[in-house]
Structure 1
Amino acid sequence: MVNQNSSSTISSHSSSFKNKVVVITGGAGGLGKALGKQLLELGAKIAALDLYVEGLLASDNLLPVSVDLTNQEALQKAVEQVTSHFGGVDILINNAGITHMSKFEDTTESLFNTIMAVNFTASVDITRLCLPSLKARKGQIVAISSVAGFAPLYGRSAYSASKHAMEGFFQSLASEVIDDGIHVTIVSPSFVKSRPELMAQVNNGVSSPGAMKKSTNGEQLSPEYAAQQIISALIKKQSNLRLGRVSKIAYWLHTLLPARYVQIMSKNAKKEFQ
């Protein structure tokens, strides 16, 4: 899947990322890796932060950093490593995330807290650490949220809570840092097929947001297409990107007919629990 308008936008602004330092959390995963690859091709310098980075080959412009994003001390050292290596941060992409498939009554306190820590708290912590450099360079921040960030999602209360919190934080932050020359883009994808080799399972702890499910509403976005759209949104300095047709429909349906949205969404989601 290729969007010609986005390709044209990126081509005409290909120099926008020349020598820009981009930090990508979850940089070794499907979407993170696709973002890194495309931005490298545009001349950016990439710091890919992830728990496991063995699949990334370090180069002059790619710095893989193995770090537990929920460990504040380790995260601070990782950011210091990036700024020491590249000199600063121009763009921060908060992409790391995990999910689950369990109703609230079946979700342990530990699992709920883990999902909040990875999806929300870690993004707040790294944003705080990168903010001085972003202010100095009048940079950009991207928050990879989800349809679950603006609408309910049956069987994923912890995931939805983490993404709602993420959107609330970055919307508020955007209003605070705009005068510093920092722009924030919140991306809400539908389903990105980033881990097709995995199958999400009910009541089985943490899973990747890109793991396959029994039933997925609408189109399944490839990581490459999603990355292209996100980079285009960066160039345009969009405040929000409803990524994918399903995301756009869900946004308007939930906004205008919330009860109908819940009915349709729940009917489909319940199939995963059968």
Structure 2
Amino acid sequence: MKTVMITGAASGLGWALSTAAFERGYRVVMVDMNAVLLEARAEVLGRRDPQRVASRALDITDAQALQDLVMWLHNNGERLDVLINNAGITHRSLAARTASSVFRKVMAVDWQAPVDLTLACMPLLRESRGAIINIGSMAGWMPVLGRAGYCSAKSALAQFFEVLRAEVAGDGIRVLMVYPSFLDTPIEKNALGHDGKPARHSRSMIGRMQTPEWMASGIFDALDAGKKRLFPDRFTWFASLLWRLAPDLYQKLMVRKFASELEQ
């Protein structure tokens, strides 16, 4: 039986991924910092088959906690076939008004933690000739007003794992980068404002709002198909092309669409 470990597994896309993985026959190791919700979610799946669910409550920005997690995998004889770096955080605030602590937190969750966890899991992934799935964002491909830190972190995530893919291909390890746009998940509801407190204004968006269940199914289909990159939203894919081919026009359209961000 193959094992998948998912960060941010208790809500939003993480919960949809946990459910989809379970339904596809994986043993699911759920990781989340919300211990109460994580226990409840794990119990839901555990009622169907307790042998195929495990959970660990921890903060993925805690380097020691990540080391302890990997040690727990080793000590319990767990195999690891798929690591899904899903946990994330965003902000909605103008760059010039945002505290540096907000940028550091976003970078710690969205870039440093996935990198640290992946590197710690490399021995297990080499042994299983497994796969790494990273939940990036189209914001890593093109600028979005009010998301300077988020865009930076997701861009760094993409660059790191594109390099890593080439470096570990000889070990049989695959890397799938996923680039969704707007999903109906708590990440935007929990967005930070310029001062690190919850953002007080609603988000701007382009394209259609998609469900996490739709995205989770697409991710596992892409994994099964051996894809390296998944661009599930055609509208934002075209927007990213516009950014590359006509950046000035893209900037003008973005400012018009996200004008409310400039008022914050």
Question: Quick one: distance in 2 between partners of 1:236 and 1:194?
Answer: 26
Judged with a 3 Å threshold, the aligned counterparts in structure 2 of structure 1 residues 251 and 134 are, in CA distance, closer, same or farther, namely same
Q: What corresponds to 2:99 in structure 1?
A: 108
Kept in 2: contact 1:188–1:247 (CA 8 A): no
1-side partners of 2:143 and 2:108: how far apart?
20
Secondary structure at 2:258's aligned position in 1?
helix
Do the aligned residues in 2 keep the contact of 1:190 with 1:246 (CA within 8 Å)? no
Which residue pairs with 2:114 in the alignment?
Answer: 123
Aligned AA (1:77)? D
| 1:201, distance to aligned residue in structure 2 (A) | 7.2
Offset from partner CA, 1:91-111 (integer Å, 9 cap, x none)? 011101000011111111111
Query: What percentage of aligned pairs have identical amino acids?
Result: 35
Give runs of aligned pairs for residues 7-26 of structure 1, distance below 5 A. Answer: 19-26=1-8
Q: State the match for 2:51 in structure 1.
A: 60
Match for residue 133 of structure 1 among 119, 124, 130: 124
- Residue 203 of structure 1 and its aligned partner are, at CA, apart by 3.1
| TM-score of the pair, normalised by structure 2 | 0.89
Check whether the contact 1:53–1:66 (CA below 8 A) recurs between aligned residues.
yes
Q: Deviations over 1:172-227 (max 9, x none)?
A: 0001011111111111101011139937575352669xx99443211001000000
SS in 2 for 1:185: strand
Q: 1:34 to 1:259 in 2, by over 3 A?
A: same
Q: For residues 213-257 of structure 1, what are the alpha-carbon distances to aligned partners after superposition, in whole Å with 9 as ceiling and x for unaligned?
A: 443211001000000111111111211111212332222222222
Measured against aligned partners, the alpha-carbon deviations of 1:34-63 in whole angstroms (never above 9, x if no partner) come to 011011011101111110142322532111
Map of 1:244-263 to 2, 5 A cutoff? 244-263=233-252
Give CA-to-partner distance per residue, 1:62-82, whole Å, 9 cap, x none.
112101111111111112223
CA distance in 2, matches of 1:197, 1:266: 20
Question: Which structure shows the bigger proportion of residues in strand conformation?
Answer: 1
2:70 matched to 1:88?
no
Match of 1:39 among 21, 26, 29: 21
1:215 aligns with 2:197: no
| Cα RMSD for the two superposed structures | 2.2
Gaps of 5+ in 2: none
Query: Are 1:200 and 1:212, in contact at CA under 8 Å, matched by a contact in 2?
Result: no
Match of 2:142 in 1: 151
Q: Which residue of 255, 258, 264 maps to 1:266?
A: 255
Check conservation: 2:88, 2:187, Cα contact below 8 A: no
* Equivalent-residue separation in structure 2 for 1:37 and 1:201 (angstroms): 28
Structure 2 CA distance for partners of 1:146 and 1:207, relative to 1, 3 Å: farther
Query: Does the 8 Å CA contact 2:90/2:187 hold for their aligned counterparts?
Result: no
How far apart, in 2, do the equivalents of 1:149 and 1:124 lie? 16
Match of 1:172 in 2: 163
Q: CA deviation at 1:171?
A: 0.3
Q: Structure 2 CA distance, aligned partners of 1:64 and 1:201?
A: 27
**Which SS does the other structure have where 1:221 is aligned?**
coil
Are the equivalent residues in 2 in contact too, given 1:194–1:223 (CA < 8 A)? yes
Asked if the contact 1:23/1:89 (under 8 Å) is kept, the reply is yes
1:225 to 191, 214, 218: 214
Residue type of the alignment partner of 1:269: F
